[in-house]
Amino acid sequence: MTCITETELKFLRLLERTKRLTKENLSANVWKVTAATKSLNKIHGALRDIDETNDMLPHYYQEILQLQSLAEAEKKSSAEESLKVIEKIPRVFLDVSEGKEEFESAAGLRIIQKSIYRSDLRKQLLSSNKKANSEDEAFIKNERLEEDLANDLLSMTKSLKTVMSAAGEVIKDDNQRLTKMQKQIEDNKAALETESSRLEHHAYKCGFDCMRLFLVVFLFWSFISMVVIMKVFPKRVSY
């Protein structure tokens, strides 16, 4: 029977504690498992330096690799990526010392984590389906709202078109009335200018007639005055 050294016993105890942490709750203990695998690698190197002929060294190394893979899978952001890492872990390993015998290594941990990730993946798929259905319902609802809005806009456009058409007719009538009024104003202006010219001519004629009458009256009174003066003051006869 091979004697187990103190270093190997320390390695086995740490390996057992790490497996227990992994089995209990890998998600909560992932950083502890990662740190433990680093320590296991160091102790494994020390064991190799002490006795390279130890037949269990390859098995120990394979155990460490599996624990590292489990920790790496737990750190992935999605269950699908975690499953890909788990699938890369071999289910059985060949015993390097004999080359024929096979043994399962941490298979229970691998199966447990694989079932957990598959369950998470199913939940994600169900959640994505629900989300897709919800998005489809929201899309249909938005389409209905957009259709109702388009119908309202079409109705408002028709109403606005009717109002604009009526307003156009009113504006057209008003323009015709304004045109007629403008024409009447121009006609009245022309008539006013004509009457103004006639009035101006008549005023000029009246003024000229008054002046002529005044001259006639003035000449008449001048003649009368001269006659009166001649009668009142007769010319003296010289002797």
Domain membership of residue 53 (yes or no) is: yes
Domain count, the chain: 2
For the CA atoms of 84, 87, 90, 91, the dihedral, rounded to the nearest 10 degrees, stands at 160
- Picking from 79, 105, 132, the residue at the C-terminal end of a domain is 132
Specify the pLDDT at position 200: 83
- Picking from 79, 113, 132, the residue at the C-terminal end of a domain is 132
Specify the pLDDT at position 100: 35
Rounded CA gap, 135 and 153, in Å? Answer: 26
Domain membership of residue 148 (yes or no) is: no
Could you tell me if 216 and 111 lie in one domain? Answer: no
Rounded CA gap, 78 and 97, in Å? Answer: 38
Could you tell me if 229 and 116 lie in one domain? Answer: no
Q: What is the mean pLDDT of each run of 10 residues along the chain (239 residues)?
A: 75 87 78 86 86 80 82 72 64 42 46 58 67 70 82 84 84 87 88 85 81 87 85 64
Domain membership of residue 228 (yes or no) is: yes
Residue 4: count of CB within 10 angstroms of its CB:
12
Could you tell me if 125 and 211 lie in one domain? Answer: no
- Picking from 132, 163, 184, the residue at the C-terminal end of a domain is 132
Could you tell me if 11 and 124 lie in one domain? Answer: yes
Specify the pLDDT at position 131: 66
CB 69 within 8 A of CB 86: yes
Could you tell me if 121 and 11 lie in one domain? Answer: yes
Domain membership of residue 177 (yes or no) is: no
Kindly give the interhelix angle for 107-232 and 79-87, rounded to the nearest 10 degrees: 150
Could you tell me if 206 and 127 lie in one domain? Answer: no
Domain membership of residue 125 (yes or no) is: yes
Rounded CA gap, 169 and 64, in Å? Answer: 93
CB 116 within 8 A of CB 83: no
Q: Tell me the residue range of the domain where 219 lies.
A: 202-233
Rounded CA gap, 31 and 238, in Å? Answer: 172
Domain membership of residue 158 (yes or no) is: no
- Alpha-carbon radius of gyration of the chain: 63
Could you tell me if 15 and 109 lie in one domain? Answer: yes
Domain membership of residue 192 (yes or no) is: no
Domain membership of residue 149 (yes or no) is: no
pTM: 0.39
Could you tell me if 128 and 21 lie in one domain? Answer: yes
